[in-house]
Amino acid sequence: MRFNAKDLALLAKRPSCCFDKEGKLKICRVVGDEKLIEPRERWCRLKGNLLFLMKNKSSEASEVVILERCWVVEFKSKTDVSIILKFQSGEPDLYIEAASKPDCEAWAVALGEANSEGLRNKIQQLRRLIMEIKEERASEEAHQFLPSSQVDSLGEPQFTSIQRIANEPKLEFSLACKGLVAATRDRKLNTFIQVSVVHPAEHILTRYSSTEIVEGTRDPLFLTGVTFPPEYPIYEETKIKLTVYDVKDKSQDTVRTSVLPDHKEPRADVGRSFLGCATFRVGDLVKSKEQQLTLTLRTSDGGKTVGTIEVNLVKMGEFEDGEMDHITTDAQDQKCALVRECTAPEGLSGKDNLPSLNAVLKNPICKLYRFPTSDNKWMRIREQMAETTLSFHVPKELINLHIKEDMRRNQELKDLGELAPHWDNMRKSVIAHCDQMLSMYQDTLAELGKHTGSSFKSSCSKGEKTLEFIPINLHLQRMHVHSPRLKDALYDVITVGAPAAHFQGFKNGGLRKLLSKFEAERRNTGYQCIYYSPENTAKAKEVLSNINHLQPLISSHADLLLNSASQHSPDSLKNSLKMLSEKTELFVHAFKDQLVRSALLALYTARPGCVLKKPAVPRSSAEESDDLKHQDHSSQIKRQDSIPHHSEYDEEEWDRVWANVGKSLNCVIAMVDRLLEKDNSSKTKEGESDPSAADCKVLHAGGDWYEQLYPLVITLKDCMGEVVTRAKQSMAFVLLQELACGLPQCLMLTLRRDIVFSQALAGLVCGFIIKLHTSLHDQGFLQQLHTVGLLVQYEGLLSTYSEEAGMLEDMAVGISDLQKVMFKVIEAKSEDFLPIITGRREHYVIEVQLPAKMFELLPQEIKEGKLLRMYPVLFNVGINEQQTLAERFGDTTLQENINQENLELLKEYYNLFTEKMPPDCLPHFQEQNDLKGLLENLHQNIQAKRRKNVEIMWLAATICRKLNGVRFTCCKSAKDRTSMSVTLEQCSILRDEHQLHKDFFIRALDCMRSRQTQGALNESDDPETGCLTDNKPTSRHFYPVALLLVSSHLLVVWLILSLALLLAKYQ
């Protein structure tokens, strides 16, 4: 064999990273058992099948040994650190002596793999694999030449499906290895298995998942299994490849195999080495008698055996009985209990995979654990996470309502009629600004309509304008616990980023501060507009809403009354009159307010050419309303002579117009009573008579009824129309003052509030629907729902420092606004089960649709359409390094005030609950802790004002669960802090409520936080990187993120150094 000496010399001088292995060895030639010379120290470098021998690391190569047709003889003595390299050509053997036994074993493995014979074995193994693939393809090609009729009869695809239960995973198996061979004899292996799938139709190797890393054993019991979801295309002909790796440095190796191309093996320099691999057909596992396969692990050349791997088929429905002692010894050095992973659960609604819940949730991810209890039994925990389609559905519905409401408001402002120049210019300015905001809402809705891909907004998109109404990382996090002795339990937490207007920023604070500042400025607007308090403004909006709702109802009931009269139907006439009376009374009651009277006076002064006998600006706030009652008639308003049709303003005219509606209704009622009385008396007097004559009288009487009622009904409608016209104009004038006093800040604050409320409402709707589905068979909860309402507890983890303080202010207002939301459960009339949103700002009704079978399970009160109240509460405790700065050098008053205010709301709900509900409606573990004691403990912890008092979080969450509430956990992006909080809460529940073995608490926590068990994920699939893709998201809590806590001493040093640098810079 010829070599170029110059090329070899250049190769020998390349950097260390270019070589497979290098180091100091003692080298000499050996003939028989005699050494020709004493071993000399040489710097050895191995590249491929070339071994370079150099006097030192910087010198040139003195000799090159070609590793061809040779083998390594390793001495078995524990003290011997030498090996012999023998050549078939008859050359003298090469004696190699290392500095230590591990180094000697490592060189022996490296030289053995570098041998050209080993390379040939690898090539032969690859050739065998290629031949197998060719044979399978040949059978497919032969299939293509079959007549089309035969092909159609065979069907597509021509593979054997796996029999399974509906909604259950197609295939699940667990893994374990035995007798693994390490590269060095004394090394403790840290191993994991990478699972790849060879699809029979494509013959492409696809990375699917991987197990966790098991440390320090050559017989690892892998605690992560493999699950293929129901929709995954796996058949009996599918092949699965299992590859075992040894992780040298666990800190450098997480799941890097998931981001490598499928055709490349990981390099040795990434912190792991390849041990062996094995392949099996799915059909062999499914059809095996014991449902278990024992496979031989071989090196890549297919020659050397490095251990065995056991594959055990797992059936999700079977619960494991028996003690845990037989597994404890195997898993003694391992860090978590049994885990199996899948990408779709058996059904997020329990045993029944309900279509109504599937319409709300999508892309579920499931993991299954097995943990020991304190009495040495096994409990099984199913952990599930799912996205929700409501992340986009609710905001789009809400924006659509905003657009309709704003268009209606703009039209009402235009319908105010002729105004004085000052007020008319103000109206034009307001309408122009409102049109701009309306256009922005319409553009946002159009952009959301174009959105495709993921059904959740990732954290990197929180600053995007087109997605500002969408909640961040809204997911359902569920833990289903199967205990051997306790009842099964379900624990749900909705995880979402804090509702906040990230695009608008927090330079000037959040909504809490901005609204307070705006209200103070509005009080000092001076003569330009009339100040109305927020309460009066809200009342004006309510009056307008009632008008728009009740007027068409009254008109329709009046028409039904006339229709009943024309048909001469006494029963129908009575029912129509009853409905008309009820709606008209509500209509009249809506105007029993001083605000309408004062607003009419204010509007009258705004008409052109209108003057006061005593010039004054009309006051209409709640504080000034009493003054208007006692004003002398001499201060009333009258028109100039140029407006001949207007006389002096009569303040009592509104009362007369308003009262006319009631009088007209009384006339209708009296007429109906008279008609019914006459009808009854005529029937009793006539007795038996000629049937034909009786029919003629009935027809004549029917005509009389209609003719007598018609003018009265028309009068009622006219009176109502006069009231509606005046009330609409007066309330629109009130809204004009609100908008004019704060342009454009008022509209910008409305926009910000809409954004925050949209994000909060999407999470609330998701939480309500999930809670309703999981508690349909809990009669106590359903009674509580319509009697008291639903408690919704938000756990905030935001700091009170810098921008997060503004986020907390936004979040507090958004959650408080949820009190104005009511829910209503209706029967679905189609296959579309998405919720329907109706109403206006400050009063929304969410109609949740259920299939007929589920709807029948509800109490009669809910089925009749009773509105269900929500009681949202927020408790916040900052836990990150920014909170350390806030507590030492900033202000935590915001957090303290929020916690104190919401504690009062929680107490109010508890008092209402204890008054209206029997004690047996509480969950089964109520006996363990007294709710009253928990509330008192929570009160004491809030009053204590301790730094980072996470006890507040735990107490609030416990109270919420005991009161059948819905749990939310929020931080800035629902990632790091949220994941740590949720996993800690889940493990604490297992310990306190389900007897988790105390020695396994940390192991269970590590297991739930481990990212290693997520499977084959790309970087773009991770919500932590925050990219919107079409792929399924990974669970945010499946990997550990350390909560940064800054040491006080280091913090002081850092501040001193920073101050010194600043002084030096400006000097």
Q: Please give the positions annotated as active site.
A: 971
Euclidean distance between CA atoms 846 and 768, whole angstroms: 10
Euclidean distance between CA atoms 341 and 1010, whole angstroms: 12
Q: Which two tokens stand for residue 445?
A: 């809705």
Cβ density class 287-296: b for 16+ within 10 Å, e for less? eeeeeebebe
Distances in Å between the Cα of 510 and the Cα atoms of 582, 763, 891 are 44, 20, 15
> How many CB atoms sit inside 10 A of residue 925's CB?
16
Strands (DSSP E) contained in 542-596 are none
Q: How far apart are the first and last CA of the chain?
A: 73
Distances in Å between the Cα of 227 and the Cα atoms of 213, 367, 1014 are 18, 9, 11
Q: Which two tokens stand for residue 304?
A: 């050397």
Q: Which two tokens stand for residue 874?
A: 């927020």
Euclidean distance between CA atoms 513 and 516, whole angstroms: 5
Coil, strand, or helix at residue 483? coil
Euclidean distance between CA atoms 816 and 811, whole angstroms: 8
Question: Phi and psi for 304 in degrees, rounded to 5?
Answer: -90, 135
Tokens 């990375």 label which residue? 207
Strands (DSSP E) contained in 821-948 are 821-827, 836-840, 843-850, 868-876
Whether 823 contacts 845, CB under 8 Å: yes
Q: Which two tokens stand for residue 526?
A: 């001076």
Residues with Cβ within 8 Å of residue 214, at least 6 apart in sequence:
190, 191, 192, 220, 221, 222, 223, 333, 334
H-helix segments, 415-462 = 421-450
Whether 26 contacts 43, CB under 8 Å: no
- Is-cis flag, bond preceding 711, omega within 30? no
Residues with Cβ within 8 Å of residue 457, at least 6 apart in sequence:
391, 467, 470, 471, 472, 473, 474, 1028
Q: Which two tokens stand for residue 133?
A: 């693939």
Whether 758 contacts 395, CB under 8 Å: yes
> How many CB atoms sit inside 10 A of residue 1's CB?
4
Tokens 């199996």 label which residue? 340
- Is-cis flag, bond preceding 261, omega within 30? no
CA angle 705, 707, 708 (to 5 degrees): 65
Tokens 């009062």 label which residue? 904
Euclidean distance between CA atoms 57 and 43, whole angstroms: 6
HSE-CB of 851 using CA atoms within 13 angstroms = 11
Euclidean distance between CA atoms 221 and 334, whole angstroms: 8
Euclidean distance between CA atoms 874 and 482, whole angstroms: 31
Tokens 């915001």 label which residue? 894
Distances in Å between the Cα of 117 and the Cα atoms of 25, 106, 123, 612, 732 are 24, 19, 10, 112, 92
* Positive/negative CA dihedral, 801, 803, 809, 813: negative
Residues with Cβ within 8 Å of residue 762, at least 6 apart in sequence:
388, 390, 391, 393, 394, 395, 470, 471, 474
Euclidean distance between CA atoms 845 and 861, whole angstroms: 17
